[in-house]
Amino acid sequence: MRWFLKILGVAVFASTALAQEASDTPEKAEDSPYEQLQLLARTMQLIRQDYVDESKTGYTDLAHNALRGLLDQLDPHSQFMDAKNFKNMQEDTRSEFGGLGVVVTERGGVLTVLNPMEDTPGFRAGLLPGDQILKINGESTEQLNVNSAVEKLRGQAGESVTLTIKRPSTGEIKDHELVREIIKVPSVKDAQILPPRPPSTARIGYVRITQFNEPTANELAAELDKLEKQGMDALVLDLRHNPGGLLGSAVDVAGQFLPPNTLVVFTEGRTPSREYRTSTKPTAIRKYPLVVLTNYASASGSEIVAGALKDLDRALVVGETTFGKGSVQSVIALPDGSAARLTTAKYFTPGRKLIHEHGVAPHIRATLSQKEEVDLLRYRREREDPSKPGAVIWDPQLERAVDALQGSLLHAKNN
């Protein structure tokens, strides 16, 4: 009887509301946070009281699921992290974490490999930028956003994960069984003086940065010191396939080549604009000619470095327009140990150029064919000891970079 009266009450309320709507022109309801919080609390209470599977009705789980939904619907980069995932994120910035070493993004609604990190399970399995991840352990990724997919890719070292991969260039669909490892990511690699390119005798250095984490700027400074002692005349800074990382690290890397207190990037959003500048501490500035190599997978921190050095006329950018991921994610710790990653602003280069969805265009456009890119990644994958610098494989983008530096050195010599 109580159940019948409850239903009857809902029906009477609904009919009254419909009659009111028919007789009056409705006004837009005020967007009140208190009313919406009451709605959320009431819904959680109903789930807790009546949902068939009681094991899924803990208030902590319900609140976390609600927070995931709140943030996931904003954009692909906003995210709720429970305490475990927050800890994993903090470990990422220290260059060590458990996973497959696959950086993913969303393209056209499809989960896509942006870059397989070197010396990781994903890299050794032969995954390539642009590969599409259709399933993770047999579960379709069609309804997964990037953040949820990352959670599934990571886990305990030693556990296996099966990825169903489609390679758009060939249409091939293949399962890859990978085993999670503790991923240690050395961010500065292959520092060396390149073999001379006759007739020039210039000593051109080469350094590749795979991502920006806490030790990157110090690692780069140490490698540059070594190359300078070998008589380096100019430098190629390779940021291809670099997905980004810590903003402060990217600013410090740019600071290796810029005067103290130089504007590197600034943000604009709902909050007041914020500037990020090189250190005010006086340091010896590295003044030799510089080329930054970029491609379509250079993202976030890579774009900040390339954009700043380009706008400030400190470097030539050679390669392809970068990815265009120029939004700021602020990580806010929450009282229970979880955290919210929230997009709060967008990045602008010193010349007020918007990075997000535009990228940084090169001074000199140079591309790789698909075969050349596969050969380059395969070469890096098959090197016997990737922890030691080996002979860098020459490719059209690197050749254009070296040509540009040789031209700069020749021009400086004749003037």
Label residue 375 by pLDDT band (50, 70, 90): confident
Backbone angles phi and psi of 178, in degrees to 5 = -115, 150
327 annotated active-site: no
Question: For the segment 142-183, what is each residue's pLDDT rounded down to a tens digit?
Answer: 988 887 888 889 888 899 999 999 999 899 999 999 999 987
What DSSP assignment string belongs to 290-349?
EEEEE-TT--THHHHHHHHHHHTTS-EEEE-------EEEEEEE-TTS-EEEEEEEEEE-
300 annotated active-site: yes
> Using an 8 Å Cβ cutoff, are 65 and 50 in contact?
no
Give the whole-angstrom CA distance, residue 216 versus residue 93.
10
Q: Which residues have a Cβ under 8 Å from the Cβ of 343 and sit 6 or more positions away?
A: 74, 75, 77, 78, 327, 328, 329
Question: Under DSSP, is residue 184 helix (H, G, I), strand (E, B) or coil?
Answer: strand
Q: Is the pLDDT of residue 12 over 60?
A: no
Which member of 325, 327, 338, 408 is catalytic? Answer: 325
Give the whole-angstrom CA distance, residue 62 versus residue 60.
5
Q: Cβ atoms within 10 A of the Cβ of 156, count? A: 8
Which member of 95, 187, 249, 300 is catalytic? Answer: 300
Label residue 288 by pLDDT band (50, 70, 90): very high
Respond yes or no on whether the N-terminal peptide bond of residue 259 is cis (omega within 30° of 0): no
Q: Is the pLDDT of residue 16 over 50?
A: no
Mean pLDDT within 2-6: 33
Question: For the segment 107-126, what is each residue's pLDDT rounded down to a tens digit?
Answer: 888 999 987 887 789 988 99
Class of the domain covering 188-414: alpha beta
Q: Which residues have a Cβ under 8 Å from the Cβ of 365 and sit 6 or more positions away?
A: 319, 320
Label residue 7 by pLDDT band (50, 70, 90): very low
Give the whole-angstrom CA distance, residue 292 versus residue 297.
14
The whole-number pLDDT of residue 386 equals: 47
The whole-number pLDDT of residue 11 equals: 34
Which member of 95, 311, 327, 408 is catalytic? Answer: 311
Domain range list for the chain: 96-184, 188-414
Q: At what angle do helices 216-229 and 247-254 cross, to 10 degrees?
A: 20
Give the whole-angstrom CA distance, residue 172 versus residue 93.
35
> When comparing pLDDT for 329 and 45, which is higher?
45
Range list of H helices, 1-153: 2-23, 33-50, 59-72, 83-92, 121-124, 146-153
298 annotated active-site: no
β-bridge partners, 172: 167
Give residue for tokens 């000619």.
289
> When comparing pLDDT for 255 and 374, which is higher?
255
**Beta strands 234-238 and 263-269, pairing class:** unpaired
- Cα 125 to Cα 122, 184, 344, 407: the distances in Å are 5, 17, 36, 40
- Cα 401 to Cα 225, 229, 414: the distances in Å are 21, 22, 20
The fold of 96-184 is: Pdz3 Domain (2.30.42)
Give the whole-angstrom CA distance, residue 198 versus residue 350.
37
Label residue 2 by pLDDT band (50, 70, 90): very low
Give the whole-angstrom CA distance, residue 245 versus residue 260.
22
Name the pTM for this structure: 0.71
Give the whole-angstrom CA distance, residue 226 versus residue 232.
9
The whole-number pLDDT of residue 242 equals: 93
Give the whole-angstrom CA distance, residue 80 versus residue 329.
12
